[in-house]
Each structure stands twice: as structure tokens, then as C-alpha cells.
Amino acid sequence: MRLSMIGTGYVGLVTGVCLANVGHDVVCLDIDDAKIAKLRKGQSPIYEPGLDELLAHNIKAGRLKFSTDAWEAHQNADMIFICVGTPSDERGHTDLKYIDAAADTVADVLLKLGSNQKPKVIVVKSTVPVGTTFRVRDRIRAKVGPTVPFEVADNPEFLKEGAAIEDFNKPDRVVVGVENDRTGQTMRDLYDPFVRNGHPIFVMDILSAEMVKYAANAMLACKISFINEMANLCEAYGADVSKVREGMCADKRIGGQFLYPGLGYGGSCFPKDTLACIMMGETRGVPTPVNKAVHELNQAQRERFFSKILSHYKAKNAPGGLTGKTLAFWGIAFKPRTDDIREAPAITLMRLAMSYGAKVKAFDPVANENARKELGANFEIVDDMYEAIEGADGLIVSTDWDEFKSPDFARVSKLMRQHVLFDGRNLYRPSQMQQAGFSHYSVGRAPVVSC
Ligand SMILES: NC(=O)c1ccc[n+]([C@@H]2O[C@H](COP(=O)([O-])OP(=O)(O)OC[C@H]3O[C@@H](n4cnc5c(N)ncnc54)[C@H](O)[C@@H]3O)[C@@H](O)[C@H]2O)c1
């Protein structure tokens, strides 16, 4: 099939590359000239394991092209995928301006092609408030009039950044919302090569498909906030959350995934999708106390962790409280194996530390460039994990990258001015830290105070 992607972010680019890789002809469209220029040279604007190789392979095979021109991208497409961002404000109102703009460019192309064309399927892949696919349909229809044929579908994406290629190629399930069987069959044909493992394709109505995405993300966010709440209770009662989680997760009904205590979730999805659930509830008068609690707990978790830093240094809880202290951060991305720093707990903590007067030095294996753009020159971002801790009074481990899991503690000791570790991801055992002579603060476990 001939396909076009609107938006070459984490979802659009991965979708385009993976669909080209099974043989489709794909054009990826973006309004960002710099991204398209980079992609045309075969360079990915985002970090995603395995993406560079697939990008190069499919460009070379002539199946994958990039454009900033909507006509060029869509005129021959059988299916057009809308993969633009759907950010939300602080209360959860989803900003649909990118979706609307994408719908408008599609409408312009359809109008130009006229009534005598094979109906294209316009697939909404972005995560959208329930009802948005109909909004897209109605917006296009209003522009093109009653005779121009097209179909719509909703096809939420469940990939995880850091494992996006693997997730797209071997999804646990594919969810598709359609208005008729013909479009359902087209979507089944498209995804058939990806479910050879026997995993299901669920074809359903559009509203339910849109809701599946929110339900799934809200559930995952809920698990993270739940284990953090239990971790906080463990701290208050002297229990050890790592033992509690083992004992709890051995129950098959519970399982262990997404039940790791830490700094809470970040990224471009869970925070906004939980808020969107709250807002969808408010819009229709449906209480959503679970989502509200999940969100509040998640935000509070960062501040709770920061209060451990203040209390270690006996710093006053006011601007200037950390003046004279240098704090190092290992990890800026919101999770390992991605360069995405949107809503990253590290960014919140770095900003807090800076606002309390601390000097901040940070390192991330792949997110440094994004962090420099986001944070500006006041934050020192360095290219080596050991350089970050030189002369530091404390080290905050804020992302659980593999390379932070077994550092050279003797070297760490030598380089740091004070031997204090704030382990936001529970990477190190308290007993191990005690032996190594560090003060160690983690989540849901007793602190070690060595100095
Ligand atoms: N990132 C994830 O892990 C993930 C996973 C599942 C679903 N989603 C959802 O997918 C959607 C996209 O997320 P993302 O992380 O890929 O976003 P992103 O911000 O990384 O990328 C969006 C891209 O769309 C482009 N764009 C905006 N308006 C455009 C237009 N009118 N025409 C062409 N291009 C346009 C932007 O320039 C940008 O490159 C969101 O709704 C998100 O919630 C994201």
C-alpha cells in the first residue's frame, strides 16, 4: 500500500519506518523543515534503539521518503496516518490544534483530487480525547463537501519509547476503531504482518478504540502511583518496599510490571493522558477520583524526594537553602533508552535544586542535547558521568540507565566532595552503600546516614 504519516515524532517516524520495512511505500510529512532535512540525509532526529538501521535500510530500498509538502505526501496515499502531538494544559484540556491543522491539510488534498478518487482511509494514531476522530471526519467533510469519498479510523499506538521498534513490530495487541467492515478489513490487512505471533487485532467502534488508549495508560500510571504510595508507607513504618514488592508481586493476579517505586512517571503520555481522563470526566460530569489521586501522588512524589535532599543538608525550605552545594544528576531523560525529556522527574528536580541556589551538573547518555536546549546555559550538562560528580556534594540518580547500575564506587568516592547518594530509582542496596561509606537515600527503604 501507499501510506503517508503526518508528523515524524516518536510515533509517526517509528510507524512510518516499520510499515516501510514490511514493504509499503511510505512518505513521512512534517512541518518542521529541520527534521525533514535531517531525515532526508538518513539521520534520525530522535534517539530510539534500532531506528537508525531501519531508517537507512528503507531509504536505500526506496520505500521511505520525507516531505514538507502535503500534496506530495498524500496525493497517492491509500491511507494517511495522523501522528501529531496532542499536548494538554495543566488541567488536562487537550490542545487539538495540531490535529485540526493535519485534518485541514488532508482536506485540501482530497478536495483537489475531487469526487472521482479511491477513498483514502484517514487514520488517527495520536492519542485523542474520545470523539476526536469524528471531529476530524466532520472537519474534513465540511471542507470537501458531500461527494468526495474518504473513511476514518482510530488506531491508538501503544509503543514504549526506548523499545518502540520492538513494540511496533511485535505488539501485544492492535486496536482499531472503524465505522464499517471494509475499513476494518483494510486495517487488518495492514497489521497482519505484525501479529504473526498470534497476538490479536481488536476491531471495534471508534469511541471505544479511543478510550482503550486512555484506559491502558491510566491503569499503568495508577500502578506506578500505587507502588509509590506503598513505598511512602514503608518509609513511615520501617518496612522495605523492595521486599514488600517481591512478596506482593509473586501473586499472579498482581504481577510485577510497572510496580517499581521511584520518582514517579514522566514523559509525554502518562501525565497528559491521566489529566485528559480527569478532564473528560469533568466535561461529562463523571467523577474521576482515581485518576486525580494518581496524578496528585505522582507530582507530590518528586517534591517528597526533594525534601530528602533538603533535610540531609539541613537546608532551609526556602530559596537559597542549597546555596554553596553542588548537586550532580545522573540521568535526565524521563526513562532509560530514550532522549525524551518531556515531563522528566529529573528536570523538575534540577529546576528545584537550582531555585534553591544549588549548582547543578548533569549527565545523560543520550538526552544531553535536548536538555541543553530546554534548560539553557545556567545548568551545566556534561558528557561524562564521572565528570558530572567532580566536586559534588550529592549525586541524584534520576534515570535508571544500565550504565548507572554498577558504577565504580571507589572512583565516585574519590571524585565527590561529600559522599551522598540520592537514589531516585532504587538502583543500589542500602547495605552496599553503607559498606562503601555513602549516605544513601532511596524510595521506600531506610536511609543510610554515613556522614
Ligand atoms: N511518544 C510516545 O511514546 C507515544 C506513544 C503512544 C502514543 N503517543 C501519542 O502519539 C502522538 C504523537 O506523539 P509523539 O511523541 O510522536 O509526538 P512528537 O511531538 O514527538 O511529534 C509530533 C510531530 O508532529 C509534527 N507536526 C505537528 N503538526 C503537524 C502538521 N500539521 N503536519 C505535519 N507535521 C506536524 C511535529 O513537528 C512533530 O515532529 C501524541 O498524541 C501522543 O500522545 C505517543
Predicted local distance difference test score (pLDDT) of residue 73: 98
Segment 7-25 mean pLDDT: 98
Segment 403-422 mean pLDDT: 98
- Tens-place pLDDT, residues 193-226: 999 989 999 999 999 999 999 999 999 999 999 9
Which residue's C-alpha cell is 510515533?
11
Predicted local distance difference test score (pLDDT) of residue 64: 98
Q: CB atoms < 10 A from the CB of 2, how many? A: 15
The answer to whether 178 and 187 have CB atoms below 8 angstroms apart is: yes
Segment 131-141 mean pLDDT: 98
> C-alpha grid cell for residue 325?
552545594
Q: Does residue 451 surpass a pLDDT of 80? A: no
Say whether 428 sits in a helix, a strand or coil: coil
Q: Does residue 188 surpass a pLDDT of 90? A: yes
Q: Please tell me the pTM assigned to this model.
A: 0.96
> C-alpha grid cell for residue 8?
515524524
- The answer to whether residue 18 is catalytic is no
Predicted local distance difference test score (pLDDT) of residue 319: 87
Sign for the CA dihedral angle at 47, 53, 54, 57 comes to positive
- Tens-place pLDDT, residues 316-368: 988 899 999 999 999 999 999 999 999 999 999 999 999 999 999 999 999 99
Rounded to the nearest integer, the mean pLDDT of the chain is 97
Say what angle helices 345-355 and 289-312 make with each other, to 10 degrees. 40
Say whether 401 sits in a helix, a strand or coil: coil
Predicted local distance difference test score (pLDDT) of residue 378: 86
Euclidean distance between CA atoms 120 and 110, whole angstroms? 9
Q: Does residue 114 surpass a pLDDT of 70? A: yes
Ligand 1 cavity residues, CB under 6 Å: 6-12, 29-32, 35, 83-86, 98, 101-102, 126-127, 157, 159, 161, 268-269
- Tens-place pLDDT, residues 254-270: 999 999 999 999 999 99
Confidence at 450, pLDDT banded by 50, 70, 90? confident
Nearest CA to ligand 1 atom 7: 157
CA of 164 to the centre of ligand 1 (A): 14
CA of 301 to the centre of ligand 1 (A): 27
Segment 96-104 mean pLDDT: 98
Pocket test for ligand 1, best of 6, 8, 10 (most atoms within 8 A of CB): 10
Q: Does residue 186 surpass a pLDDT of 90? A: yes
The answer to whether 343 and 266 have CB atoms below 8 angstroms apart is: yes
Q: Does residue 8 surpass a pLDDT of 70? A: yes
Q: Does residue 447 surpass a pLDDT of 90? A: yes
Give me the residues paired with residue 327 across strands.
360, 394
Euclidean distance between CA atoms 83 and 26, whole angstroms? 14
Pocket test for ligand 1, best of 4, 6, 11, 80 (most atoms within 8 A of CB): 11
Q: Does residue 154 surpass a pLDDT of 80? A: yes
CA of 231 to the centre of ligand 1 (A): 34
Which residues are CB-neighbours of 357 under 8 A, at least 6 positions away? 319, 320, 321, 322, 323, 324, 325
Which residues are CB-neighbours of 347 under 8 A, at least 6 positions away? 266, 332, 341, 371, 374, 375
> C-alpha grid cell for residue 168?
511496533
What share of the chain in percent tops pLDDT 90? 97
Confidence at 424, pLDDT banded by 50, 70, 90? very high
